[in-house]
Amino acid sequence: MKLSILFYQDDVKFSNTFEVDKKETDQKLIVGTVLNELFTVESNYRNANMRLFKTSKPILFKVTNGKNEILNLGKSSKFIQDKLKFNKTAKSKRTFAKRVNLAITEMSRNVEVINQDDIFARLEEQIKLEEQSK
């Protein structure tokens, strides 16, 4: 199965494609590799006094599995899009990486099926623990 992660801004595109075995795919390894490549290429452009992406605009991304779009933050709210920026500082890149990872983790997590009585019981238990810790 082919998995592609495309970062884009206006007409600029940066893409990585992986051949993955669904059973043994390490999401953290893929996300880490893609982000490292993005930051390395961006840094190389900066060192040549060029810009791959504008730091004042969001860097959007989408994940596809072959022809199927799994996630596209270009279709998300402007509020979310505005958070997807980074500049040359390590702190900025770390924040960007955390947000990319969060989006991909949320997209791939399993949904827990639970009935309303159980959720109410869990919440009541949490309320008691919070009150005890005050």
Model confidence pLDDT, tens digit, residues 72-95: 888 988 888 888 988 889 999 999
| DSSP string of 21-39, one letter each residue | -GGG--HHHHHHHHHHHHH
What is the pLDDT of the chain when averaged over all its residues?
A: 87
Alpha-carbon distance 70 to 66, whole Å?
A: 10
pLDDT over 90 at 31, yes or no: no
Q: Are 42 and 52 in contact (CB under 8 A)?
A: yes
**In the chain, domain spans:** 2-132
Q: What are phi and psi of 82, to 5 degrees?
A: -65, -15
